[in-house]
Every structure is written in C-alpha cells, then in structure tokens.
C-alpha cells in the first residue's frame, strides 16, 4: 500500500491512495490525514472565518511591515521601539492623557473639543471655531477670523451718526475766509464752473447736442441730416471719374461671366422638366413626356404595323383553337410533352401502392419493392424463434436488420438471426440468454 510518512499537511501525497490499494487500508490514510491537520493547526479550537483571500492579504501585510514611513504598510517598531510616520490622526481621546517626551518635529493639528480636563494651549495655528467681529455704534463692518492668517477690516461711518464743528475740520475755517474774500458784491468775475449746466444743440442741416458747465472741455458730435442739402457732381471728388466707368441704365453689357440673378428654364406643354441657369456653365434639362398628352398613328411608329400583323387576332382565334393546335405538336421530341414533369414521364416516378404507418407497419411501392418494420419479444434461450412480418412479401425477403432495445441494465447479450433464411412471411431469431429480450427490425424485399 502507498502510505506516506508525514507530521504536517505539506508532506501529504495527493496521489495516495492509489487505485491498486486495498479498500480496507483506507482508514490508515484517513488517520494520517487527520493527524497531519491537527499537528499543523494545534491551537485552532474554533471556526476560522476569514476567507483565503483575507488570510493571504494578512500574511502579505505582515511580511511587508516596516518601521519606515511607507504608504499602505503595517507599522513595525524598530529595535528601540520607534517608528516613522508623516502624520498620526487621533479622532477621539476622551479619557486618556497624551504625554509627549522629547522634541516634536512638524506640526500638530486638531483640538481638545472632547477632552474632559482641557486647559489653555500655550500656542496654536488657529482657533477651533472661527469668530466673527462686527462693528457697532457709529461704524459698520465685520470680519471673520480663526487665527490662521491676517484679515482686513473695511469700516464705514454711519451717515448722520455724529456732528463736527468748523474748528475740528482742519483748514475749513481758512478756506471759508478765502472764498469770502474772492466772492463779493452782486456778481462773480470768474468761476471754475457754471451753477447750471447748459446744453448746446445743433439745428438746420446738422443734428447733435452736448451739455456744458465750464468745468472741462467737451466735444460735440455733429451729424449731417439726410437730404438736408445738395451737392453737384463736380463738388464730389472722384465721382465723375467713377461714373464714367459704369453702364447707363439703358446700356447692355458687352460680356459677363454669369447672370446677376439665376433663372429657371421650365418645359411645358407635352413635356415636363426644368433646370437653373446663371450662365456659368452649360445645363441639361431632363425632359419627360406627359402621359396621354399626344397621339401617334401606326405609320409613325417604326415596325409596329409589321409586328401587329404577325400576331393572332383574338376575336377570331379561341382557346379551343389553341388547344387543338397544341395537341398536334405534343409528344416525345416535340419540346412540349405535356405529360412530362421536368422532362420525365410520370411512369418513371415511384408511387405508393399500399402502406400501414404503425409501430409494426409497412409500405409497398408501385414497382413491387416493399419496406417493413416492427418489434418483437423473444423468450429466453429461444432458438430459431419465428417472427411474422406485418404483411407478407410478394416474392421474397432480401434482408432483415435487427437491433436489441435498451433495457437500462448493463448485460452481456447473445442473440442473432436464426440459422434459417427469412421467408416472405417472417424470419427467425435465436436468443442466447436466459431472459426474454425485445428487439426492433427492418426488412426489405419484393
């Protein structure tokens, strides 16, 4: 017996036991397999629920564990118990304090929003919650700040929220004194602008306007009114020369490459068809003759009279006349042979004389050839048992072919046609086994 000797499952041989081993030795293989499994997994006392993919992934992660800052790798401390990480994130530290010994390189982010005994931080990059500062009283404006960057404040003084005296506005008193010394009497000799702006508007053959208060120069956009004045040809530079190169309204062009407006040429009357023409190229009009738009006489149609003369006048030549004519030429070699199918006489076709389409049936053709079929049961150990045909052959039976019907049980059968030749009414069968057998047959003959 092929029985390996092993302690663990890696020593088991997949091809054992062999097909030549005694069935009774199978318990030795079973005991060896159970012992190898228990030795390989001595501490497994329950169900191992991870899949093979999960187990393989866990082993792969353990094999690639490192104390370095490596992405997607399990952290493994070095010989001093240290490891390198670019960022450590703690989502909830509710009851435990974190003591940092030594120097922290980099930055710490987060907050102590959930700490039970939080104290003031000595320094931080930003506030946990951003705050908004809003101005009130005689100022408006606000800004939001969280300490992470400087902010700007746009402040506005509320209209009519306070008052000033002339003495509190630097230079105002001196400016009022200067204006009082310059402006005196009933009129002002000069000013930077008019009190009321004025509008200058163009008229007659021009249009346009502009507002002016003297504080700055202005531009008046003037437009000549259409049809407001006349010009002579001589007063328009180059106009006469340009007119000399043009045609008079009543003149004809000596030549042109195309018509200014393309035209359609359409056929009418007894013809239909049209085409667009602009003179750039020749055109073809596909003309069609309108149905029933005109008449012809026999003499105007070449060959029609002669063709009609060769035809039979149906008013004087009846179907009976045609049949009589066909009968005179029917027969072998005539090219007609009305009693043939694809040139073969009906006497050449095989026809069914009699038939019986049943489980034990037959078919007999017009030429005497017959085909018979059926099934029969032959007793066990029967020798030359006679089996009758559904009907007799007229002259002789040429051949019988038999086949045993499947019983669904594997047996060694011994049956054959009998030693006697088939007759016109049946044939012989020998059953060489001790139980009755059913078989089917086909026989041919005349």
Q: What are the tens digits of pLDDT across the range 340-359?
A: 777 677 777 888 899 999 99
Is the CB of residue 369 less than 8 Å from the CB of residue 444? yes
- Residue 114 is predicted with a pLDDT of 46
Tokens of 5: 């000797």
Rounded to whole angstroms, the Cα distance separating 424 from 394 reads 7
> What pLDDT, in 10s, does the model give residues 50-101?
999 999 998 999 999 998 989 888 898 999 889 888 777 765 555 555 666 6
- Residue 206's φ and ψ, nearest 5 degrees, are -120, 155
Can you give the pLDDT at residue 84?
86
Distances (CA, A) of 122 to 102, 119, 125: 17, 9, 11
> How far is the C-alpha of 131 from the C-alpha of 144, rounded, in Å?
6
Q: Is the peptide bond before 17 cis (omega within 30 degrees of 0)?
A: yes
d(CA 446, CA 427): 15
Closest CA to 102 of 125, 123, 119, 82: 82
Q: How far is CA 338 from CA 319, 321, 383, in A?
A: 17, 17, 58
Cα radius of gyration (the chain):
62
Give the tens place of pLDDT for each residue, 7-20.
Answer: 999 999 988 888 88
Buried b (16+ CB within 10 A) or exposed e, 187-198: eeeeeeeeeeee
Reply yes or no on whether the pLDDT at 325 is more than 70.
yes
pLDDT tens profile 101-147 = 666 666 666 554 444 444 555 556 788 899 999 988 888 989 999 88
The residue among 251 and 233 whose pLDDT is bigger is: 233
Q: Which domains does the chain have, with CATH numbers?
A: 1-46 (no CATH), 47-79 (no CATH), 263-294 (no CATH), 295-348 (no CATH), 350-445 (2.60.40.3940)
Helix H or strand E encompassing 126 = none
Helix, coil or strand: residue 52 = helix
Q: Which of 421, 410, 413 is nearest to 438 (CA)?
A: 413
Number of residues in the chain: 446
Q: What are the two backbone dihedrals, phi and then psi, of residue 297, each rounded to the nearest 5 degrees?
A: -100, 160
Would the pLDDT of 167 be above 50? Answer: yes
Query: pTM above the 0.85 mark?
Result: no
210 within 8 A of 200, measured Cβ to Cβ? yes
Q: Any alpha helices (H) in 75-217, and if so which ranges?
A: 172-182
Tokens describing residue 130: 């951003």
């Amino acid at each position: 017996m092929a029985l390996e000797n092993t302690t663990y499952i890696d020593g088991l041989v997949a091809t054992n036991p062999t097909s030549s081993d005694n069935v009774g030795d199978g318990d030795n293989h079973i005991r060896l397999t159970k012992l190898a499994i228990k030795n390989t997994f001595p501490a497994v006392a329950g169900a191992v629920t991870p899949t093979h993919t999960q187990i393989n992934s866990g082993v792969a992660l353990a094999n690639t564990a490192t104390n370095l800052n490596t992405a997607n790798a399990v952290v493994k401390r070095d010989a001093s118990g240290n490891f390198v990480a670019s960022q450590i994130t703690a989502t909830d530290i509710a009851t435990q304090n974190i003591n940092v010994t030594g120097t922290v390189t980099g930055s710490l982010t987060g907050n102590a929003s959930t700490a039970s005994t939080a104290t003031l931080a000595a320094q931080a990059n930003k506030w946990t919650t951003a705050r908004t500062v809003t101005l009130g009283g005689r100022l408006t404006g606000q800004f939001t700040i969280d300490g992470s960057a400087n902010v700007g404040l746009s402040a506005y003084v509320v209209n009519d929220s306070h008052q000033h005296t002339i003495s509190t506005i630097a230079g105002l008193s001196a400016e009022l004194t200067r204006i009082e010394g310059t402006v005196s009497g009933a009129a002002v000799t000069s000013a930077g602008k008019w009190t009321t702006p004025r509008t200058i508007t163009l008229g007659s053959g021009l249009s346009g306007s502009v507002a002016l208060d003297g504080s700055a120069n202005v531009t008046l956009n003037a437009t000549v009114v259409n049809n407001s004045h006349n010009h002579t040809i001589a007063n328009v530079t180059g106009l006469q020369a340009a007119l000399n190169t043009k045609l008079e309204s009543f003149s004809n062009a000596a030549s042109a490459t195309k018509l200014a407006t393309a035209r359609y040429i359409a056929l009418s009357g007894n013809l239909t068809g049209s085409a667009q023409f602009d003179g750039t190229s020749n055109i073809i009009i596909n003309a069609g003759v309108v149905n029933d738009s005109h008449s012809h006489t026999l003499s105007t149609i070449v060959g029609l009279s002669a063709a009609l003369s060769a035809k039979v006048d149906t008013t004087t030549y009846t179907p009976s006349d045609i049949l009589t004519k066909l009968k005179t030429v029917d027969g072998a070699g005539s090219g007609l042979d009305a009693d043939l199918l694809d040139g073969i006489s009906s006497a050449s076709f095989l026809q069914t004389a009699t038939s019986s389409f049943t489980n034990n049936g037959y078919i007999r053709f017009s030429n005497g050839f017959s085909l018979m079929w059926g099934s029969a049961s032959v007793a066990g150990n029967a020798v030359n048992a006679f089996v009758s045909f559904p009907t007799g052959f007229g002259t002789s039976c040429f051949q019988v072919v038999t086949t045993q019907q499947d019983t669904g049980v594997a047996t060694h059968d011994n049956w054959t046609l009998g030693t006697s030749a088939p007759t016109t009414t049946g044939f012989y069968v020998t059953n060489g086994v001790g139980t009755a057998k059913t078989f089917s047959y086909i026989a041919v003959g005349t």
